[in-house]
Amino acid sequence: MGKSVKTSRWFDRLSLRHQFMYTSILILVCTIGATLLTWGLSTLYVFKAPGGFPAPANYYEQQIPKILSYVRKNNEALLNPASRQAVDQVIPLEGIDYQVMGIAGDVRYGTIAKRLIPSREELLHRINTTGRDEGKFIRYVPIINQEQELRGAIVLRYRLDLLASNPDKQLFMALFVVVNMAMPLIYLTIFTFFFGQVFSRKIKPPIAKLIEGAHRIERRDLDFEMEEIKGAKELKELGDAFEEMRRALYDSLDREWRSEQARREMVAAIAHDLRTPLTIIQGHAENLRDSETIRPERLHKYVNTILQNTGRSIRLLEEMTGLSEIEHPDFSLLPEPVDVASFIAQKTEEYTLLCSRKKIVLSSTCEDMRPSPKRMCLDAHRLGQVLDNVIANSIRFTPDYGSIRWNVRISEERIDFEITDSGPGFTAQDVRMVFNKFYKGDSSRSVEKGHAGLGLYTCYTLIQKHGGEIIAENNPDGGASIRFWINKLFC
């Protein structure tokens, strides 16, 4: 029993190709064994059959020496038709046809009526030879006189096959030959069907499990675990792949659910963040509407407040719209050849202008490590979006008269960026969560500055799509530091 189980387990670990090969060999071995056994039993039956063992296929050829002895004994006397009765007694007419002819090939008598030799010369040519005629062997035996002169010939025609050698048992021998010749095919069919059924019963359960699993997935029921599939190596691999697919679908649906939750949270967060500026805008607008007379300085203050909160609302909506675009499944970067040094110089000018409003000193360096500087394939728009968010974040939390340092290093395959500032730096919680969606750190400062906590999350997402990485940390000398790198793209 234990050996049988081990054999079954060994067979289950084989590939379908090897199982089919071994099954085919087993079918062939069983077919050969059963055929040989049948042939042996058939032969044994023939030996024991009534009437004795059948004559061999060359039975009549074995009678030739006896006939030749009779011919040499009687010779020229055989040319006399009166010898026919005696000749008929010597030659087994049921299996051998004969013809006695003269020296010129003329027919004297025999069971072959048609003339076989047209002339004396032809007879001399064929005497003592064996040939074929109408599928039978034909032998030309000379008839000579006492002076050893050729006087004629006796032609013997016979077949070399089992049926012809057993005229009284032809039906039995025909069935014997046909059945025994057909036994390999019969056994091959029987064993193929039998082992085919065994093989089918072996692989049907695992296939049924896979089909049931597919139906459950079709019904969107992913809360199950696929049982281990046995039966063949390929089936096990298919079962493992199916389980991996189920888990991937389960995880995908879970991510989809989480994404939907995040979307709802985003909508709620944006609605919450928009409520404050819109309330302020509404209050100032109502004051303007209800005031019959208003001093110019107060009017200017109201209008500025309305404009500031309108811009704040617009920025919040732009962040939400931009993030939705980036997170869309069809989103892809649009790389193009970019002169990186010129791009960095242009952005430096823009950020210098922004820093000047708070008297912040911006210093930048760009180090190109390549032997021969050339254009690099990048999505300049998205890279600019990342830099805008990181620099804006540094400016937001850097005090007046502070400093921001921006270092860029360009290599053959990637670009490294480091932005450090003299602001308060990150808290321990900030370092862990600063790239999370909707994370704002100090909520009072976030509301004051008017952002929804999506800027650095957008940077994180875009840098991942560039095949890079972004890290937030604190400088040993104080202040925050953002380091990230991106790979070059293919245009």
What is the Cα–Cα distance from 332 to 310, expressed in whole angstroms?
A: 31
How many Cα atoms sit within 13 Å of 463 on the Cβ side?
Answer: 24
Q: Which pLDDT belongs to residue 66? A: 92
Q: 437 φ, ψ to 5°? A: -65, 135
Averaged over 372-394, what is the pLDDT?
A: 90
Judged against a pLDDT cut of 60, whether residue 2 lies above it is answered with: no
Q: Domain 233-322: give its CATH architecture.
A: Orthogonal Bundle (1.10)
What is the Cα–Cα distance from 100 to 92, expressed in whole angstroms?
A: 15
Q: Which pLDDT belongs to residue 79? A: 92
The residue with greater pLDDT, 325 or 277, is 325
Q: What's at 448, amino acid-wise?
A: E
What is the Cα–Cα distance from 45 to 53, expressed in whole angstroms?
A: 9
Q: Which pLDDT belongs to residue 422? A: 93
DSSP code per residue over 370-416: -SS---EEE-HHHHHHHHHHHHHHHHHHSPTT-EEEEEEEE-SSEEE
Tokens of 59: 């039975």
Q: How confident is the model at residue 407 (pLDDT cuts 50, 70, 90)?
A: very high
Q: How confident is the model at residue 99 (pLDDT cuts 50, 70, 90)?
A: very high
* CA dihedral (172, 178, 179, 180) positive or negative: positive
Q: Which pLDDT belongs to residue 399? A: 92
The residue with greater pLDDT, 383 or 315, is 383
The residue with greater pLDDT, 47 or 121, is 121
Q: Which of 75-89, 171-185, 432-446 has the lowest mean pLDDT?
A: 432-446
Which of 275, 214, 272 lies closest to 246, judged by CA?
Answer: 214
The residues of the chain that CATH labels 1.10.287.130 are 233-322
What is the Cα–Cα distance from 245 to 324, expressed in whole angstroms?
A: 27
Please say whether the beta carbons of 485 and 369 come within 8 A: no
Please say whether the beta carbons of 206 and 233 come within 8 A: no
Q: Which pLDDT belongs to residue 448? A: 42
Q: Domain 59-165: give its CATH architecture.
A: 2-Layer Sandwich (3.30)
DSSP state of 1: -
Averaged over 121-137, what is the pLDDT?
A: 87
Q: How many residues belong to the chain? A: 491
Count other Cβ atoms within 10 Å, centred on residue 366.
Answer: 16
Q: Which pLDDT belongs to residue 452? A: 61
The CATH superfamily label for domain 333-487 reads Histidine kinase-like ATPase, C-terminal domain (3.30.565.10)
Judged against a pLDDT cut of 90, whether residue 329 lies above it is answered with: no
The residue with greater pLDDT, 404 or 163, is 404
Q: 108 φ, ψ to 5°? A: -95, -50
Averaged over 382-393, what is the pLDDT?
A: 90
Please say whether the beta carbons of 392 and 455 come within 8 A: yes
Please say whether the beta carbons of 425 and 387 come within 8 A: no
Q: Which pLDDT belongs to residue 7? A: 55
| Residue 337, phi-psi category: left (phi > 0), alpha (psi -120 to 50), beta (remainder) | beta
**Cα-based distances in Å from 410 to 197, 265, 379, 479:** 67, 39, 15, 25
Angle between helices 296-327 and 233-290 (to 10 degrees): 170
Averaged over 279-306, what is the pLDDT?
A: 72
Averaged over 338-359, what is the pLDDT?
A: 91
**Cα-based distances in Å from 100 to 109, 129, 138, 149:** 6, 16, 13, 16
The residues of the chain that CATH labels 3.30.565.10 are 333-487
Question: Terminal CA-to-CA distance of the chain, rounded, Å?
Answer: 65
Which of 400, 378, 402, 404 lies closest to 391, judged by CA?
Answer: 404
Judged against a pLDDT cut of 90, whether residue 402 lies above it is answered with: yes
116-134: b or e for each residue (b if 16 or more CB lie within 10 Å)? bbeeeeebeebeeeeeeee
Q: Which of 110-124, 154-168, 249-263, 310-324 has the lowest mean pLDDT?
A: 310-324
Q: Which pLDDT belongs to residue 81? A: 92
Q: How confident is the model at residue 246 (pLDDT cuts 50, 70, 90)?
A: confident
The residues of the chain that CATH labels 3.30.450 are 59-165
The residue with greater pLDDT, 65 or 134, is 65
Place of tokens 């719209």: 321
What is the Cα–Cα distance from 139 to 128, expressed in whole angstroms?
A: 7
State pLDDT tens for residues 195-216: 888 877 877 777 888 888 888 8
What average pLDDT does the chain have?
82
